Amino acid sequence: MATQPGAAAGVSDEAPISLYAQRPPRLRGTAGTVASTVSTIVLVGAIVVLFLLPSSAGFRHEFFSPHYLWESFRLHPSDYLYSVSKAFLYTVLLSVICEPIVLVLALAVATLRMTTGPVLKPFRGLCIAYTDFARGVPLILIMLWVGFGIPELNAGWISSQSVFVYGGMVLVFTYTAYVSEVVRAGIYSVPRSQASAARSLGLSSRDTLARVVVPQAVRNVLPALLNDFVSLQKDTAIVSVLGAVELTHAAQADASYWFNSAPYAIAAGFYLLLTVPLTRYTDRLLAKDRDRRLAGSA
Amino acid sequence: MLRPKIALAAAVSAAALVLATGASSGAVSHHRRASTYPTLASCKTTVQSQVKSKGSLTVATDDPVYTPWFVNNDPSNGKGYESAVAYGIASKLGFAKKDVKWVTEPFDSSYEPGPKAFDFDINEISYTAERAQAVTFSISYYGVTQSIVALKGSKIVTKHTPAELKTYLYGDQIGTTGLTYIESQIKPTKTPRIYNSLDLAVQALQSKQIDAIVVDTPDGQYMASSEVKNGVQVGQFPSTGEYYGLLFQKGDPLAACVDSAIQSMTTSGELTSISKKYLGIYNSIPTIKP
């Protein structure tokens, strides 16, 4: 897969492909292994030494005290405090419910915005106003408006939903705007000729969109989409302003009771557990996509 | 089989120790030495060599100070709960009213370690184990209780048996003793909401997102009467041991005689009558069980 510089030069000296080609490393074989081992030891060693210095004892206790790490992690912490593990479920559930809803709504907003019919003109305007607003106003403000505003309306059923519902609504509201823009960019990235060809084969405009344009569009922007989902998973923390005991807030409650910040490390670990697999997956898709394109252009 | 016997002996002696300390320490003197107090008669002479400035008792508090703890921002008028307690202690230890000198000590710096310019500080300071590492506390002169604040006409106002209390949705500020009280004593079935400020909790209560807030009684009285529209203080809970203590420089020997004075004021009923006079409004709030 890695193109040899010689082979690339054989095609053309200024081939765009040279952007991705790598210069052969100066140290190769055993010398290379030794060099990378030494640099790893120096870097990791410096961090470990800094961490283990006697003067860092206060720091270690404040942020990584084993006692409090365990207390906040276990399902039933002493002193009736909050289990960060339990709060993790809240965060996972919120993300997992919001993400498919965001995807469907974003697709709807993006396609609505790209219609051309005169009847839909006011809806297009509405879509533009919505994306401008939802992307332009900080999530936390919308969260406070919805979370405290809707219950204040005294509108019966609508005003008596749980924080989970209001928080989810706000996340969906904001992230649909982001994702719809990503989807729109994806649709624009599909050459017009694709749609023309589909129409000339006799596909309806709906089928053209659903079977030809959107699949290609989504594939083109999949890494960007997943990026937004990683971001959404972390932004579930903002539901805490409404009083929800999600991951960040559970850690915060424990930390402020114990005067010790170790629970934050547990919370961070859980976020990584949630986001790293998704980012790794995104990286893999990106690499696959790059290879595919390179293969095409070579 | 020696081991079980040793274990049994250890358990028995431990139980005996617990019983003994439990019996000798009164309801007010949790967390602290359960020793006998020096007699007030002997104290009158010993304190003279223990006070910072000879012949007078130097008492610290914050500036400004508020009702009901002090009246008219003047600690030296003897009015208000804490002022009255301070003068009561002074008189037990043989100081005349004019021998009590007041100095200012901001709350935030009061429980920092180091030498103090006062004999004791009286400023609604709750005893905590962390603070007791840096300073010495007297026994309790005021037991802090937690109370429920809700909206008038809501279910919790009339229905608050221990079983019913578990069914409500509570809200509280992060890191407060009120939140700890909810989790440790009420143990509700729904996870309480945690807010980053008490104001947000009040806003949530106002818009009926939560059924009640648990705060300490004096704060709750203020919230229910002036902060929350249609607010009502449903009741207060029995003390869990949180209390205000006088604060001394770490290891100050004067603490023993002051404890003795407080103990004497407690048994004679003097503390209760001061409490009735200045904190009557809190005493009239019904006590309910968690």
Task: Give the residue on A whose Cα is nearest the Cα of B188.
Answer: A80
What CATH number is given for A71-297 in this structure?
1.10.3720.10
Q: What is the full DSSP assignment across A189-219?
A: HS-HHHHHHHHHTT--HHHIIIIIIHHHHHH
| Residues in chain B within 8 Å Cβ distance of A245 | 191-194
Cβ <8 Å between B207 and A259 = no
pLDDT at B107: 81
For A245, the closest of B191, B201, B207 (CB atoms) is B191
Chain A neighbours among B 241-270 (CB < 8 Å)?
none
Is the pLDDT at A216 greater than 50, yes or no? yes
Amino acid A150: pLDDT: 93
Q: Which of residues 211-240 of A touch B (CB under 8 A)?
A: 240
Contact A245 B171 (CB under 8 A): no
Is residue B12 in a domain?
no
Tens-digit pLDDT profile for residues A267-296: 999 999 999 998 898 888 888 877 887 776
Q: Which residues of A touch B210 (CB under 8 A)?
A: 243
Coil vs helix vs strand at A164 = helix
Within 52-91 of A, beta carbons closer than 8 Å to B belong to 79-81
The answer to whether B111 and B100 have CB atoms below 8 angstroms apart is no
Q: Which residues of B touch A88 (CB under 8 A)?
A: none
- Beta bridge partners, B121, equal B60, B247
Q: What is the 3-state secondary structure (H, E, C) of B23-42?
A: HHCCCCCCCCCCCCCCCHHH
Q: Cis bond leading into B238, ω under 30°? A: no
Which residue in A32, A24, A25 sits closest to A4, CA to CA? Answer: A24
Q: Write down the domain spans for chain A.
A: 25-64, 71-297
DSSP for residue B239 = P
Give the pLDDT score at A297: 54
Q: Is the preceding omega at residue B68 within 30 degrees of 0, hence cis? A: yes
Residue B290 domain-assigned (yes or no)? no
Nearest to A244 among B193, B201, B208 (CB): B193
B189 part of a folded domain: yes
> Would you tell me how many other CB atoms lie within 10 Å of the CB of residue B91?
16
Of A114 and B263, which is predicted with more confidence?
B263
Q: Kindly state whether A109 is in contact with chain B, defined as any CB-CB distance less than 8 angstroms.
A: no
- Mutation choice for B interface testing from A89, A159, A256, A260 by most B CBs within 10 A: A256
Residue B175 sits at the chain A interface (C-beta within 8 Å): yes
Helix (H, G, I), strand (E, B) or coil at B121: strand
CATH code, domain carrying B161: 3.40.190.10
Contact by Cβ (8 Å): A189, A220:
yes
Q: What ipTM goes with this model?
A: 0.74
Per-residue pLDDT of A122-168, as tens digits, reads 999 999 999 999 999 999 999 999 999 999 888 888 888 999 999 99
Closest residue in B to A249 (Cα) is B194
User: Residue B134: which residues within 8 A CB-CB, separation 6 or more?
Assistant: B111, B112, B113, B250
Instruction: With beta carbons less than 8 A apart as the criterion, state whether B87 and B42 touch.
Output: no
Count of the separate structural domains present in chain B? 2
pLDDT band at A20 (very low <50, low <70, confident <90, very high): low
Between helix A247-258 and helix A66-73 the angle, nearest 10°, is 130
Judge contact between A262 and A63, C-beta under 8 A.
Answer: yes
Q: Which of B175, B201, B208 sits opposite A151 (nearest CB)?
A: B208
A253 touches chain B (CB under 8 A): yes
Q: Could you tell me if B160 and B118 lie in one domain?
A: no
How is residue B114 annotated by DSSP?
Answer: S
Per the prediction, chain A carries an average pLDDT of 87
Q: What does the pLDDT read at residue B122? A: 96
CA B48 to chain centre: 28
Same domain for B228 and B248?
Answer: no
B chain contacts of residue A249, beta-carbon cutoff 8 Å: 174, 194
Q: What percent of chain A has pLDDT over 70?
A: 91
Q: Both B218 and B74 in a single domain?
A: no
> Which residue of B194, B208, B210, B229 to mutate against A (max A Cβ within 10 Å)?
B194
**Which residue in B160, A242, B215, B282 sits closest to B223, CA to CA?**
B215
Asked if residues A79 and A257 have their Cβ atoms less than 8 Å apart, the reply is: yes
Domain annotation covers residue B2: no
Q: What is the pLDDT of residues A195-215, one digit of tens each?
A: 999 999 999 988 998 899 988
Name the closest residue on chain A to residue B174, using Cα atoms. A253
Q: Is the same domain home to B115 and B76?
A: yes
Which of A35-39, A217-221, A238-242 shows the highest mean pLDDT?
A238-242
* Residues of chain B numbered 112-151 and touching chain A (CB < 8 Å): 130
Instruction: Tell whether B17 is covered by a domain.
Output: no
Write out the DSSP string of B128-151: -TTGGGTEEEEEEEEE--EEEEEE
Asked if residue B176 belongs to a domain, the reply is yes
- Identify whether residues B154 and B228 lie together within a single domain: yes
Q: Is B77 left (phi over 0), alpha (psi -120 to 50) or beta?
A: alpha
Tell me how crowded residue A246 is: count the other CB atoms within 10 A of its CB: 26
Q: How far is CA A87 from the centre of its chain?
A: 20
| Total Cβ atoms within 10 A of residue B216 | 20
Q: What is the DSSP letter of B126?
A: B
pLDDT tens per residue, chain B (290 residues)? 345 455 545 454 444 444 444 333 333 334 444 457 889 989 999 999 999 998 999 999 998 888 788 999 999 999 999 999 999 999 999 999 999 999 999 887 787 778 899 999 999 888 887 778 788 999 999 988 899 999 999 999 999 999 999 999 999 998 788 898 998 899 999 999 999 888 899 999 998 999 999 998 888 888 888 888 999 999 999 888 889 999 999 999 999 999 999 999 999 999 999 988 888 777 778 888 87
β-bridge mates for residue A200, sequence order: none
- Please indicate, yes or no, whether residues B224 and B251 belong to a single structural domain of this protein: no
Given CB atoms, is B155 within the 8 Å cutoff of chain A? no
On whether both B158 and B223 belong to a single domain, the answer is yes
Q: Is the pLDDT of residue A11 over 60?
A: no
Nearest by CB to B207, from A152, A240, A259: name it.
A152
Q: Cβ of B183 and A80 within 8 Å?
A: yes
| A103 touches B: beta carbon within 8 Å | no
Is A242 in Cβ contact with B196 (below 8 Å)? no
Higher-scoring residue by pLDDT: A58, A217: A217
- State the average pLDDT over residues A17-46: 80
- A86: closest chain B residue by CA: B191
Nearest chain B CA: its distance from A250 CA (Å): 9
**B193-249 pLDDT, tens digit each:** 999 888 899 999 998 999 999 998 888 888 888 888 999 999 999 888 889 999 999
* Rounded CA separation A24/A284 (Å): 23
CA distance linking residue B248 with residue B116, whole number of Å: 8
State the residue range of the domain holding B219. Answer: 146-236
If you count residue pairs, one on A and one on B, with CB atoms under 8 Å apart, how many are there?
A: 57
Q: Enumerate the residues of chain A whose CB falls inside 8 A of the CB of residue B201.
A: 243
Interface touch B193/A80, C-beta < 8 Å: no
Mark whether B63 and B202 lie in a shared domain. Answer: no
Q: Report pTM.
A: 0.71
The single residue listed with the structure tokens 């809803």 is A101
Nearest CA in chain A to B183: A80
Q: How far is A253 from chain B (nearest CA, A)?
A: 6
Dmax over Cα atoms in chain A, in whole Å?
76
Domain match, B56 and B129 both = yes
Looking at residue A260, its pLDDT comes to 81
pLDDT for B35: 58
Q: Are residues B156 and B223 in the same domain?
A: yes
- Per the CB < 8 A criterion, the answer to whether A73 and A266 are in contact is yes
CA distances from A71 to A67, A84, A255, B246 (A): 6, 9, 11, 33
Residue of chain B whose alpha carbon sits nearest to that of A154: B207
The pair of structure tokens assigned to A31 is: 């010398």
Alpha-carbon distance A4 to A10, whole Å? 10
Q: Residue A156's pLDDT is what? A: 86
The number of C-alpha atoms within 13 Å of B124 and in the hemisphere containing its C-beta is: 17
